[in-house]
């Protein structure tokens, strides 16, 4: 009985398929662990970027400039008494023009690359005379001598130089800090004679990391940005009206009207969440090897499954036997490919890391197959199958938009080829076939 059971386990195609299924399920565990490792390294890279940004400058958002005019308002303090309180009115410019260049620099924190930049911006425009006419504010209650022009800068540590405001031809130095309001959390301000409106202009040299955005506070806002960085990501509430992106860098232009925003040109003592309309550009790495490595690891099930399937086809067609433990060793080597890919891609380009990790994995498995089956031909065939698989996965990584279509076609071809190669396989043992013949 024991001998018959052993013979059945050794010769049964059904048992071999069940063994492969169990091995495949077990190999999902290390592949999941590897995916978790990749995500952890990606988070560590983000933390490194944040750490460098804390010292250099974080993602920057430019809000304004806008006019802030204080005024007095009588507020009841009891049944009959009132007391004056100071309120603030905000007026946005009729025209806002922002133009400048972004000069990127790559810094390193350990093995991680961090993109930082220095932006040189020219900001100009004009304000109409502020009007309180329909707000029922008396002229004597408007504190024109305390009016200020404010501009929000998200991370004040990024300011490189002293900023001087040109207000109708008069030079006025900006100071740090803004009026106690909720419109901008941090920024610069300057006292100005705002009653008649006027034209403004100033230059802003700013350090930051990851992205630079502008809030379109003008009734008409025009923004023009250029950089030598070849991989921009245009983000925020508005995409550029025109852009050019090439190996030498990019340039982009935006035109935004006040009708495109969810807030008006003036208001009193409310915040309005103006930052929600910010737009701009992020500087991204040309190749995010963590994202590609994670995507590649998600195809591990396909690679392992098709490789074990090729082993199965060798066994049923060449009458060669392999132990389930040998399947496990090959599967673990296939899982190790993704660890090699991750670790190597942190030091060289992703494409080179993919080639090196793939060549090492294929060579190791091909040599193991030759020692298993004592056949150079089977070793070459197995290596060829793995080359096709890894090239197929690499193509899927390059075709994000067509990955599903390409993957579906590839799996269809693999299944059709398997059906063709196994069309003449005797799935039952000879004894079972003889039994079926005698019954009939």
What pLDDT is stored for residue 434 in this prediction?
40
The pLDDT-based confidence of 166 (bands split at 50, 70, 90) is very high
- What is the pLDDT confidence band of residue 394, given thresholds at 50, 70 and 90? confident
- What pLDDT digit, counting tens, does each position of 248-257 carry? 899 999 999 9
CATH numbers and ranges of domains, the chain = 2-44+290-430 (no CATH), 57-286 (2.60.40)
**Bridge partners (DSSP) listed for residue 431:** none
Gap between the Cα atoms of 88 and 338, Å rounded: 59
Task: Tell me how far apart the alpha carbons of residues 190 and 195 are, in angstroms, rounded to a whole number.
Answer: 14
Give the number of other Cβ atoms within 10 Å of residue 192's Cβ: 20
Residue 4 is predicted with a pLDDT of 52
Average the pLDDT over 96-125 and give the result. Answer: 88
361 DSSP 8-state letter: H
Report the distance separating Cα 144 and Cα 255, nearest Å. Answer: 32
Record the pTM. 0.71
Instruction: Provide the token pair at 161.
Output: 């130089």
pLDDT of 181 > 70? The answer is no
Position 311 scores a pLDDT of 74
**pLDDT, tens digit, 9 for 90 and up, residues 229-274:** 988 999 899 999 999 998 889 999 999 999 998 888 888 877 667 8
pLDDT tens track for 1-60: 555 555 545 555 666 667 767 777 777 777 778 778 888 877 777 777 777 777 788 889
Closest listed residue to residue 157, CA positions, set 124, 183, 186, 180: 186
| Number of residues in the chain | 440
pLDDT at residue 196 in the model: 84
pLDDT at 185 over 50: yes
Q: What is the pLDDT of residues 276-293, one digit of tens each?
A: 899 999 988 765 777 788
> Does position 219 have pLDDT exceeding 90, yes or no?
yes
Torsion angle in degrees (nearest 10) through CA of 150, 155, 156, 157: -170
Residues 130-145 have pLDDT tens digits of 988 888 888 888 888 8
Question: Would you say residue 400 has pLDDT above 70?
Answer: no
**pLDDT tier at 433 (50, 70, 90 boundaries)?**
very low
Contact 176, 188 (CB under 8 A): yes
Q: Tell me, what's the pLDDT at 432?
A: 44
């Amino acid at each position: 009985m024991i001998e018959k059971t052993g013979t059945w386990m050794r010769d049964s195609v059904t048992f071999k398929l069940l063994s492969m299924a169990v091995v495949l399920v077990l190999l999902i565990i290390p592949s999941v662990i590897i995916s978790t490792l990749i995500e952890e390294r990606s988070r560590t890279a983000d933390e490194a970027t944040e750490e460098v940004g804390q010292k250099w400058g974080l993602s920057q958002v430019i809000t304004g400039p806008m006019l802030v005019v204080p005024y007095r308002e009588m507020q009841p303090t009891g049944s009959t008494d009132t007391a004056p309180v100071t309120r603030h009115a905000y007026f946005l410019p009729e025209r806002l023009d922002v133009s400048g260049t972004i000069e990127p620099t790559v810094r390193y924190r350990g093995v991680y690359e961090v993109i930082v930049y220095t932006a040189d911006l020219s900001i100009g425009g004009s304000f109409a005379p502020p009007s309180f006419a329909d707000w029922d504010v008396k002229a004597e209650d408007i504190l024109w001598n305390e009016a200020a022009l404010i501009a929000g800068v998200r991370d004040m540590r990024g300011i490189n130089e002293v900023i001087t405001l040109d207000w109708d031809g008069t030079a006025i130095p900006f100071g740090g800090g803004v009026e106690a309001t909720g419109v901008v959390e941090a920024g610069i301000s300057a006292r100005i004679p705002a009653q008649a409106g006027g034209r403004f202009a100033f230059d802003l040299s700013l350090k930051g990391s990851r992205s630079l955005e502008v809030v379109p506070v003008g009734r008409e806002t025009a923004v023009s940005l250029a950089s030598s960085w070849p991989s921009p990501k245009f983000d925020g509430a508005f995409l550029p009206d025109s852009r050019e992106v090439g190996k030498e860098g990019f340039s982009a232009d935006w035109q935004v009207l006040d009708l495109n925003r969810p807030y008006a040109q003036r208001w009193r003592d409310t915040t309005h969440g103006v930052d929600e309309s910010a737009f701009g550009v992020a500087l991204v790495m040309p190749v995010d090897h963590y994202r590609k490595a994670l995507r590649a690891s998600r195809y591990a099930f396909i690679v392992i499954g098709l490789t074990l399937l090729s082993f199965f086809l060798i066994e049923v067609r060449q009458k060669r036997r392999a132990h389930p433990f040998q399947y496990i060793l090959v599967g673990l080597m296939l899982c190790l490919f993704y660890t090699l890919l991750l670790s190597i891609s942190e030091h060289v380009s992703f494409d080179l890391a993919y080639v090196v990790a793939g060549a090492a994995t294929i060579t190791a498995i091909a040599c193991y197959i030759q020692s298993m089956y004592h056949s150079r031909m089977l070793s070459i065939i197995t290596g060829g199958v793995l080359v096709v698989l890894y090239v197929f996965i690499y193509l899927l990584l390059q075709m994000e938009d067509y990955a599903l279509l390409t993957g579906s076609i590839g799996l269809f071809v693999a299944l059709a080829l398997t059906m063709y190669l196994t069309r003449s396989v005797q799935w039952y043992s000879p004894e079972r076939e003889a039994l079926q013949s005698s019954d009939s």
